[in-house]
């Protein structure tokens, strides 16, 4: 009876809701650093796009016809 009592617990609905909210926020806050080209695709004049700082930022250049 003692082991069964330790494994069972009950939560009130507000407590359970708060616990689920905290778990979902913790999952959303976890992320990894990805480069610009992993999120976007350059479709025009790719030679005018230069990645800086391991892809976390880019530099765009213009020529006379741009």
pLDDT tens per residue across span 2-46: 555 555 667 788 888 888 888 888 777 666 777 787 888 888 888
Tokens of 64: 């006379």
Distance from C-alpha of 40 to C-alpha of 17, rounded to nearest angstrom = 36
Q: How far apart are CA 35 and CA 51, in angstroms?
A: 9
Half-sphere exposure of 1 (CA within 13 A, CB side): 0
d(CA 40, CA 32): 16
Query: What pTM was estimated for this model as a whole?
Result: 0.41
């Amino acid at each position: 009876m003692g082991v069964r009592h330790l494994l069972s617990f009950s939560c009130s609905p507000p407590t359970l809701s708060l616990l689920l909210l905290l778990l979902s926020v913790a999952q959303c806050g976890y992320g990894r650093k990805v480069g610009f080209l992993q999120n976007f695709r350059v479709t025009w004049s790719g030679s005018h796009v230069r990645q800086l700082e391991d892809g976390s930022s880019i530099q765009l250049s213009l020529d006379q016809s741009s």
